[in-house]
């Protein structure tokens, strides 16, 4: 949550950066005649667009290194930054991504004398002239496969934030104008990093206030009501209105999407995808429910949605479905939402949060078409879920479920799904065949196979309900185990 003043400062800073960049117009020419000359205006345009995007610092740095490699036609670009509390430089971004085994020095420590030496060249618009010893100190790479190594300090005034290291396997001889352009890129990059750090510090401070408020509110401490009222005023939350707690969970899609193997994505790409999806869902909820308070957690969001707005599951699913599908296809991130019941008093929020968390877990076990689950619609699952989490009893009904499951795993069939729909339809063959969209004879063959696997008579009416409940309990337990190991390894064949 940004104040109006901060938003105005960001806009002015972005305009200032754009104006500063476009005042420089030297032509960048490679010394190798066979190399195509990069379009200077295109380089500067990409730079301005990148540093003014509303991204977090890691994403901005990643895009910057990629832009520099593509625009200047070099082989590798690395950004190393000093910690805000010390002088140690660590690699923050690179393109292409560098394997850890190729990095000899995990961090660099540069003397004040060397910093001043680098800054002197920057003030003159020149690339630093380094001795072999200085080049070794500034280069964290273990291999020496690059003919040209350029290290440009990222400076804002007298402060040195880090290094912009460029590598190429061909020899380069930059003239004065080309060196000025490289320094311009480094200077604008340093300004963008400094500005983004200020913005993120403000965001972190605001998020910490929200986190403390939400934690205490969900703890349900009645004696802290006066303190919560004051904190609510500070974060701009109206406790006098009714709200409902919604828990949003973001998880990585592990299967293949559109013939793309998601497991091939790098760590930087996964982080970028996750943060992009997180930003999108936050913006969508803020647009759908003005006045919502959002607390960002490790695996998703905790949202306090106003009850006086349209909060039906159909509305929420309809509004968020395009976003959820887009994130799954583009960012490989799956989004699920659990919603509790309405809170009329401060003491209700802890209950609504527990309900939302339970709705999220149960909904993720059984929902396929909808991504939002309300606690009020759980029905019998409200009673089965605690039992499935705490009890590990085994009986003749669970034995039947496991027998069908083992057969499915061996033969690559889906008889367990057939049994579930058959029991849900009360043993009605016509209704089951219609639900599964299979021919009646095909269904009868499946039912016959299931019956041979089960010791119990599945057509015997008293067995149907407990068998269906045992199957639902298995689904809940299997989902709980899925985060640690697959169902195949947890069920003995």
* Whether residue 5 has pLDDT greater than 50: no
Asked whether residue 72 is assigned to any structural domain, the reply reads: yes
CATH number assigned to the domain comprising residue 450? 1.10.10
Asked whether residue 124 is assigned to any structural domain, the reply reads: yes
Q: What's the start-to-end Cα distance of the chain, in Å? A: 53
* Whether residue 29 has pLDDT greater than 50: no
| Residues 358-370: tens digit of each pLDDT | 888 888 776 555 5
pLDDT at 33: 39
- Per residue, the 3-state secondary structure of 309-369, as one string, reads CCCCHHHHHHHHHHHHHHHHHHHCEEEEEEEEEEECCHHHHHHHHHHHHHHHHHHHHHCCC
pLDDT at 34: 43
Q: Which of 339, 330, 324 is nearest to 250 (CA)?
A: 324
| Residues 401-435: tens digit of each pLDDT | 899 999 999 989 989 999 989 998 999 999 999 99
Do residue 85 and residue 173 come from a single domain?
A: yes
Do residue 271 and residue 357 come from a single domain?
A: yes
CATH number assigned to the domain comprising residue 91? 3.30.450.40
Percent of the chain with pLDDT over 90: 13
| Residues 199-254: tens digit of each pLDDT | 888 888 888 889 989 988 998 776 678 888 888 888 888 888 889 999 998 887 76
At 82 the three-state DSSP class reads strand
Q: Which of 140, 134, 78 is nearest to 103 (CA)?
A: 140
Asked whether residue 28 is assigned to any structural domain, the reply reads: yes
* Whether residue 445 has pLDDT greater than 90: yes
Asked whether residue 244 is assigned to any structural domain, the reply reads: yes
Contact assessment for residue 336 and residue 249, using Cβ atoms and an 8 Å cutoff? yes
For 351, the domain range is 237-378
* Whether residue 45 has pLDDT greater than 90: no
Do residue 360 and residue 413 come from a single domain?
A: no
pLDDT at 330: 77
Asked whether residue 97 is assigned to any structural domain, the reply reads: yes
Grade residue 110 by pLDDT with cuts at 50, 70 and 90.
Answer: confident
Q: Retrieve residue 289's tokens.
A: 């429910």
Q: Which of 405, 398, 447, 396 is nearest to 423 (CA)?
A: 447
Spell out the residues 6+ positions from residue 335 whose beta carbon is closer than 8 angstroms to its own: 248, 249, 250, 277, 281, 320, 323, 324, 327, 328, 371
* Whether residue 95 has pLDDT greater than 60: yes
d(CA 336, CA 372): 6
Bridge partners of 82?
89
* Whether residue 17 has pLDDT greater than 70: no
Span of 1-5, 25-29, 387-391 with lowest mean pLDDT = 25-29
Do residue 250 and residue 285 come from a single domain?
A: yes
d(CA 153, CA 161): 8
d(CA 29, CA 38): 7
d(CA 373, CA 246): 10
Do residue 172 and residue 273 come from a single domain?
A: no
The mean per-residue pLDDT over the stretch 157-168 comes to 88
Span of 10-24, 247-261, 343-357 with lowest mean pLDDT = 10-24
Q: In angstroms, what CA-CA distances link 129 with 89, 174, 491, 493?
A: 20, 12, 65, 68
Q: Tell me which of 337, 355, 378 is where a domain ends.
A: 378
Do residue 474 and residue 348 come from a single domain?
A: no
Grade residue 25 by pLDDT with cuts at 50, 70 and 90.
Answer: very low
| Residues 114-134: tens digit of each pLDDT | 888 888 888 888 888 888 888
The predicted model scores a pTM of 0.56
Do residue 373 and residue 407 come from a single domain?
A: no
* Whether residue 63 has pLDDT greater than 50: yes
Tokens 């990059």 belong to 189
pLDDT at 260: 56
Do residue 362 and residue 394 come from a single domain?
A: no
Asked whether residue 205 is assigned to any structural domain, the reply reads: no
pLDDT at 280: 85
Do residue 105 and residue 191 come from a single domain?
A: yes
Grade residue 30 by pLDDT with cuts at 50, 70 and 90.
Answer: very low
Grade residue 493 by pLDDT with cuts at 50, 70 and 90.
Answer: very low
pLDDT at 234: 87
Spell out the residues 6+ positions from residue 370 whose beta carbon is closer than 8 angstroms to its own: 313, 317, 363
Asked whether residue 226 is assigned to any structural domain, the reply reads: no
What are phi and psi for residue 483, nearest 5 degrees? -70, -20
pLDDT at 469: 85
Count of domains observed in the chain:
3
Do residue 52 and residue 107 come from a single domain?
A: yes
The mean per-residue pLDDT over the stretch 164-171 comes to 87
Do residue 32 and residue 171 come from a single domain?
A: yes
* Whether residue 485 has pLDDT greater than 50: no
Structure-model confidence comparison of residues 244 and 321, the more confident one: 244
Q: Report the mean per-residue pLDDT for the chain.
A: 78
Do residue 18 and residue 156 come from a single domain?
A: yes
Contact assessment for residue 305 and residue 298, using Cβ atoms and an 8 Å cutoff? no
Asked whether residue 156 is assigned to any structural domain, the reply reads: yes
Q: Which of 249, 200, 269, 266 is nearest to 55 (CA)?
A: 200
* Whether residue 444 has pLDDT greater than 90: yes
Structure-model confidence comparison of residues 207 and 439, the more confident one: 439
Contact assessment for residue 462 and residue 378, using Cβ atoms and an 8 Å cutoff? no
């Amino acid at each position: 949550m940004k104040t109006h003043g901060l938003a105005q400062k960001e806009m002015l800073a972005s305009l200032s950066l754009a104006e500063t960049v476009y005042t420089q117009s030297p032509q960048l020419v490679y010394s190798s005649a066979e190399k195509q000359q990069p379009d200077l205006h295109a380089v500067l345009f990409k730079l301005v667009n990148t540093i003014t995007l509303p991204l977090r610092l890691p994403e901005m740095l990643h895009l910057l290194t990629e832009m520099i490699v593509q625009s200047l036609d070099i082989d590798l670009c690395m950004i190393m930054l000093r910690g805000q509390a010390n002088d140690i430089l660590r690699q923050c971004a690179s393109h292409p991504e560098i394997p850890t085994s190729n990095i000899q020095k995990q961090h660099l420590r540069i003397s004040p004398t060397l910093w001043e030496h680098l800054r002197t060249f920057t003030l003159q618009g020149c690339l630093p002239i380094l001795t072999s010893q200085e080049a070794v100190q500034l280069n964290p790479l273990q291999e020496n496969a690059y003919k040209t190594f350029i290290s440009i300090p990222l400076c804002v005034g007298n402060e040195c934030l880090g290094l912009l290291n460029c590598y190429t396997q061909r020899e380069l001889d930059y003239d004065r104008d080309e060196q000025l352009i490289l320094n311009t890129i480094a200077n604008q990059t340093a300004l963008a990093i400094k500005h983004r750090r200020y913005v993120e510090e403000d965001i972190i401070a605001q998020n910490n206030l929200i986190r403390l408020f939400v934690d205490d509110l969900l703890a349900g401490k009645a004696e802290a009501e006066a303190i919560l009222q004051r904190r609510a005023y500070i974060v701009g939350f109206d406790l006098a209105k009714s709200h409902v707690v919604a828990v949003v969970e973001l998880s990585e899609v592990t299967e293949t999407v559109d013939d793309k193997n998601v497991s091939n994505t790098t760590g930087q790409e996964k982080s970028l995808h996750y943060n992009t999806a997180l930003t999108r869902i936050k913006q969508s909820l803020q647009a759908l429910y003005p006045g919502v308070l959002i607390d960002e957690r490790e695996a998703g969001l905790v949202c306090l949605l106003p009850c006086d707005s349209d909060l039906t599951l159909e509305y929420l699913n309809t509004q968020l479905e395009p976003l959820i599908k887009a994130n799954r296809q583009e960012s490989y991130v799956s989004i699920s939402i659990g919603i509790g019941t309405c809170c009329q008093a401060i003491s209700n929020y802890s209950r609504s949060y527990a309900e939302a968390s339970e709705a999220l877990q149960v909904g993720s076990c059984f929902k396929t078409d909808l991504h939002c689950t309300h606690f009020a619609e759980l029905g019998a699952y409200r009673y089965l879920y605690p039992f499935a989490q705490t009890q590990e009893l085994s009986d003749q009904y669970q034995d039947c479920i496991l027998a069908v499951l083992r057969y499915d795993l061996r033969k690559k069939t889906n008889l367990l799904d057939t049994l579930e729909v058959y029991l849900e339809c009360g043993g009605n063959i016509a209704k089951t065949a219609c639900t599964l969209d299979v021919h009646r004879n095909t269904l009868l063959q499946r039912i016959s196979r299931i019956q041979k696997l089960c010791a119990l008579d599945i057509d015997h009416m008293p067995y149907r309900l407990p068998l269906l409940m045992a199957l639902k309990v298995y689904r809940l337990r299997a989902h709980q185990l899925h985060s640690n190991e697959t169902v195949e390894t947890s069920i003995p064949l």
